[in-house]
């Protein structure tokens, strides 16, 4: 049977190559990561490369998962398409095992092809990764001389390629063996597979379990639960998808069909009539889209508090003393610096604060003039008045008030290392990620045994002030007072954080985008095969007067509808998991506020529809080139 498999591969080399490419993307990411970490070991790189390696290996794993998914799809379709050939082989005496082994052997050859291509691409990934590592977006540093391709990397790539493709081919191989010999005698069209209980029940259960992991993860604040949850939900959609894909195609296809006449209507019917194929293609796209949406939602959610803080921060300059040994800004500045800054031209207001931690380090108590502070940081007072604190008053964030159950006028007992005092809650405000302490007046702070020497100074320039000149003056005063004082500009402070976040998001977006591209490959491959399968029907349509242009439009409509089904599923799951992720993150050290990036998601939907059009280019061309007479004469 080996020679037969080889002949089959030679006859279908382009299909094998396309299939191999699907596996190659994941292998390239993994191999590239291996190359980079081996290079780091050889030439010396930072420890921080470990983090990069972890992220990249997860990304590679996801790409391999999508790849396996698409492989399973492609091999399934290929086996279904060759059922007559396989039936014929069974008729003339091929055993079940021989056919199964042939499918698996073909898969492992494809795996090796994919691995070799993946290794080649992996070098590119490694080069790109090194560039990224040596810029700001990734931590770490890697010397720029030479890359190490260890035998281990080659072995791993080959192994991964074979294992992934063979695992993906197991199902199709079993089905190939089950083909009755009489299959050779019937029409080439595979019978529509009925939705068996065998698929539906576990599919629905998996989907249910996957979705249930979401509220559990949010409730228990265990974000890691969402990983298996997501995987289960995706597998569930793959299994149970055919149950709703046809209906979904009809619904999302209605506007598409309405916009493109008879070809559009036929495309919609084509998408709806084989729910199995539509579901398979849509779910191949869905994985990448889910990831992309998830990334966008998390990015928007993590960025929201930063943007909020940026908006509410009205201090043009911020002076801190940075304790280099502890990294905390607890050191104090010379007491006179505030007054000296106030004398500068073009200054609107200068406010300072000084904070001490509570005894159990759970709270931070800051002395300041709350009313003045409110002018440089928009504290958005919720209740009470920040200007009416007095010596015995205290202000806290609304979150802290809610957590402690304190209301206006409640007694608040403050315990620090040096003293215990009671205050009255006089105001609550909306906290920002960097500003959420308990606020006291300098007099109140004095009762706690602290001296309100400035720890942090906020400055705001007057309208129309010469900011560069002001900045230079501020820097002069600061360095004269204490060289350890750091002057930060408002824009620098926030934009650096935002830029770093944007760069990280771009990397994740690229990686998820790769998964989506792999999924797109699956759509192209499946569509091409379905065109080959429908040759006769296409010939008939041409014979009764359909133009080539209309055929192309029909195929395009089908592809767009399938892509939109994938978009509905992917965007839906992505938003759901993004919501869960943001909720979990909100309770972690990274502040986050669930934000739905509506324009980005709309853009994604448009891009997916566009991707459908792109995916349809090759299949549509093939379909429009069907020779009428030959298609009708074919058996």
- Residue 3 found at the interface with another protein (CB under 8 A): yes
Question: What mask, x for binding another protein by CB under 8 A, covers residues 184 to 223?
Answer: xx--------------------------------------
Least distance (Å) from another protein to the CB of residue 571? 42
- Residue 94 found at the interface with another protein (CB under 8 A): yes
- Residue 95 found at the interface with another protein (CB under 8 A): yes
Least distance (Å) from another protein to the CB of residue 83? 11
Least distance (Å) from another protein to the CB of residue 13? 11
Helix axes of 226-259 and 261-273: crossing angle, nearest 10 degrees = 150
Least distance (Å) from another protein to the CB of residue 175? 15
Taking CB under 8 A as the binding criterion, the range among 3-11, 422-430, 462-470, 540-548 that sits at the site for another protein is: 3-11
How many residues line the site for another protein (CB under 8 A)? 26
List binders of another protein among 4-43 (CB under 8 A): 4, 7-8, 10-12
Q: Which residues pair with 415 in a beta bridge?
A: 420
Q: Residue 183, Cα to own-chain centre: how many angstroms?
A: 44
Question: Which is closer to another protein, CB of 181 or CB of 208?
Answer: 181
Question: Which is closer to another protein, CB of 181 or CB of 433?
Answer: 181
Q: Which residues pair with 429 in a beta bridge?
A: 381, 397
- In angstroms, the first-to-last Cα distance of the chain is 27
Least distance (Å) from another protein to the CB of residue 2? 10
For the four alpha carbons of 132, 134, 136 and 139, in that order, the dihedral sign comes to positive
Least distance (Å) from another protein to the CB of residue 542? 22
Residues 88, 491: Cα–Cα separation, whole Å: 72
Among 57, 58, 91, 504, binds another protein (CB under 8 A): 91
Question: Which is closer to another protein, CB of 67 or CB of 87?
Answer: 87
SS (H, E, C) 515-528: HHHHHHHHHHHHHH
- Residue 84 found at the interface with another protein (CB under 8 A): yes
Residues 628, 635: Cα–Cα separation, whole Å: 13
Least distance (Å) from another protein to the CB of residue 37? 43
Least distance (Å) from another protein to the CB of residue 186? 10
Question: Which is closer to another protein, CB of 4 or CB of 609?
Answer: 4
Among 98, 329, 332, 434, binds another protein (CB under 8 A): 98
Query: By three-state DSSP, how is residue 409 classified?
Result: coil
Q: What is the per-residue DSSP string for 368-433?
A: S-HHHHHHHB---EEEE-GGG--TTEEEEEHHHHHHHT--TT-EEEEE-SS-EEEEEEEEEE--BT
| Integer Rg of the chain from CA | 32
Question: Which is closer to another protein, CB of 1 or CB of 205?
Answer: 1
Query: 62-95: buried (b, 16+ CB within 10 Å) or exposed (e) per residue?
Result: bbbbbbbbbbbbbbbbbbbbbbbebbebbeeebe
What φ, ψ does residue 507 adopt, rounded to 5°? -65, -50
Pairing status of strand 438-440 against strand 364-367: parallel
Separation in Å, CA 634 to CA 82, 533, 626: 15, 11, 12
Least distance (Å) from another protein to the CB of residue 89? 7
Residues 285, 293: Cα–Cα separation, whole Å: 12
Taking CB under 8 A as the binding criterion, the range among 93-101, 393-401, 569-577, 595-603 that sits at the site for another protein is: 93-101
Residues 329, 620: Cα–Cα separation, whole Å: 64
Question: What is the maximum alpha-carbon separation in the chain?
Answer: 100
Among 25, 63, 79, 90, binds another protein (CB under 8 A): 90
Question: Which is closer to another protein, CB of 182 or CB of 603?
Answer: 182
- Residue 103 found at the interface with another protein (CB under 8 A): no
Residues 607, 517: Cα–Cα separation, whole Å: 12
Residues 520, 289: Cα–Cα separation, whole Å: 11
List binders of another protein among 156-185 (CB under 8 A): 180-182, 184-185
- Residue 92 found at the interface with another protein (CB under 8 A): yes
Least distance (Å) from another protein to the CB of residue 161? 24
Among 89, 366, 377, 426, binds another protein (CB under 8 A): 89
Least distance (Å) from another protein to the CB of residue 92? 5
CB neighbours (10 Å) of residue 528? 21
Question: Which is closer to another protein, CB of 80 or CB of 569?
Answer: 80
* Residue from 299, 290, 298 nearest 516 by CA: 290
- Residue 96 found at the interface with another protein (CB under 8 A): yes
Question: Which is closer to another protein, CB of 42 or CB of 178?
Answer: 178
Among 14, 47, 93, 409, binds another protein (CB under 8 A): 93
* Residue from 58, 39, 62 nearest 134 by CA: 39
Question: What mask, x for binding another protein by CB under 8 A, covers residues 524 to 543?
Answer: --------------------
Query: By three-state DSSP, how is residue 426 classified?
Result: strand
Question: Which is closer to another protein, CB of 532 or CB of 609?
Answer: 532
Question: Which is closer to another protein, CB of 10 or CB of 324?
Answer: 10
The C-alpha angle with vertex 422 and arms to 363 and 401, in degrees rounded to 5, equals 50
Least distance (Å) from another protein to the CB of residue 107? 17
* Residue from 477, 434, 485 nearest 315 by CA: 434
Query: 422-440: buried (b, 16+ CB within 10 Å) or exposed (e) per residue?
Result: ebbbbbbbbbbeebbbbbb
Q: Which helix (H) or strand (E) holds 365?
A: strand 364-367
CB neighbours (10 Å) of residue 246? 20
Question: Which is closer to another protein, CB of 4 or CB of 205?
Answer: 4
Among 46, 48, 50, 85, binds another protein (CB under 8 A): 85
- Residue 408 found at the interface with another protein (CB under 8 A): no
Question: Which is closer to another protein, CB of 360 or CB of 635?
Answer: 635
Using CB under 8 A, list all residues that contact another protein. 1, 3-4, 7-8, 10-12, 84-85, 88-96, 98, 180-182, 184-185, 635
């Amino acid at each position: 049977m080996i020679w037969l498999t080889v002949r089959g591969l030679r006859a279908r080399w382009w299909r094998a190559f396309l299939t191999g490419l699907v596996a190659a993307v994941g292998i390239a990411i993994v191999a590239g990561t291996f190359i980079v970490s081996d290079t780091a070991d050889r030439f010396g790189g930072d420890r921080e490369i470990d983090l990069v390696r972890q992220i990249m290996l997860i990304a590679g794993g996801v790409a391999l998962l999508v790849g396996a998914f698409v492989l399973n799809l492609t091999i399934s379709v290929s086996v279904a398409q060759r059922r007559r050939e396989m039936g014929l082989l069974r008729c003339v005496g091929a055993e079940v095992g021989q056919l199964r082994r042939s499918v698996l052997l073909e898969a492992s050859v494809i795996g090796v092809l994919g691995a070799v291509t993946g290794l080649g691409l992996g070098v590119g990934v490694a080069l790109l990764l090194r560039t990224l590592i040596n810029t700001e977006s990734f931590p770490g540093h890697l010397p720029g001389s030479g890359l190490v391709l260890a035998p281990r990397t080659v072995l791993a790539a080959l192994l991964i390629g074979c294992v992934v493709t063979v695992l993906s081919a197991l199902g199709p191989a079993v089905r190939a063996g089950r083909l009755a010999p009489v299959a050779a005698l019937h029409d080439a069209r595979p019978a529509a597979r009925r939705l068996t209980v065998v698929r539906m029940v576990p599919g629905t259960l998996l989907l249910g379990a996957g979705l249930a992991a979401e509220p559990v993860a949010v409730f228990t604040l265990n974000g890691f639960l969402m990983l298996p949850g997501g995987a289960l939900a995706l597998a569930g959609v793959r299994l149970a998808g055919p149950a709703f894909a046809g209906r979904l195609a009809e619904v999302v296809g209605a506007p598409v069909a309405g916009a493109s006449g008879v070809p559009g209507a036929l495309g919609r019917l084509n998408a709806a009539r084989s729910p199995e194929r539509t579901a398979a293609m849509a779910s191949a796209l869905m994985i990448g889209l889910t990831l992309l949406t998830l990334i966008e939602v998390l990015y928007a959610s993590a960025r929201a508090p930063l943007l909020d803080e940026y908006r509410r921060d009205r201090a043009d300059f911020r002076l801190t003393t940075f304790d280099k040994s502890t990294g905390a800004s607890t050191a104090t500045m010379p007491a006179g610096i505030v007054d000296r800054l106030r004398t500068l031209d073009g200054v609107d207001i200068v406010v300072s604060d000084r904070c001490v931690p509570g005894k159990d380090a759970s709270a931070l108590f800051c002395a300041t003039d709350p009313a003045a502070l409110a002018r440089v940081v928009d504290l958005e007072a919720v209740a009470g008045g920040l200007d009416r604190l007095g010596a015995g008053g205290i202000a806290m964030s609304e979150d802290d008030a809610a957590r402690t159950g304190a209301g206006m006028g409640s007694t608040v007992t403050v315990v620090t290392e040096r003293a215990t005092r009671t205050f009255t809650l006089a105001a609550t405000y909306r906290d920002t990620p960097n500003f959420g302490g308990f606020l006291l007046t300098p007099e109140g702070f004095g009762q706690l045994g602290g001296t309100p020497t400035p720890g942090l100074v906020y400055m705001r320039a007057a309208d129309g002030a010469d900011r560069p000149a002001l900045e230079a003056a501020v820097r002069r005063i600061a360095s004269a007072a204490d060289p350890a004082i750091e002057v930060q500009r408002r824009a620098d402070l926030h934009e650096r954080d935002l830029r770093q976040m944007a760069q990280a998001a771009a990397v994740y977006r690229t990686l998820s985008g790769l998964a989506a591209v792999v999924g797109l490959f699956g759509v192209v491959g499946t569509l091409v095969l379905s065109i080959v399968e429908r040759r006769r029907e296409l010939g008939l349509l041409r014979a009764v007067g359909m133009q080539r242009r209309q055929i192309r439009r029909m195929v395009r409509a089908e592809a767009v509808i399938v892509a939109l089904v994938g978009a509905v599923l992917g965007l839906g799951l992505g938003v759901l998991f993004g919501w869960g992720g943001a909720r979990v993150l909100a309770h972690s050290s990274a502040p986050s506020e669930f934000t739905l990036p509506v324009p980005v998601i709309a853009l994604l939907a448009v891009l997916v529809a566009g991707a459908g059009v792109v995916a349809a280019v090759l299949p549509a061309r093939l379909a429009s080139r069907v020779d009428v007479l030959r298609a009708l004469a074919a058996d």
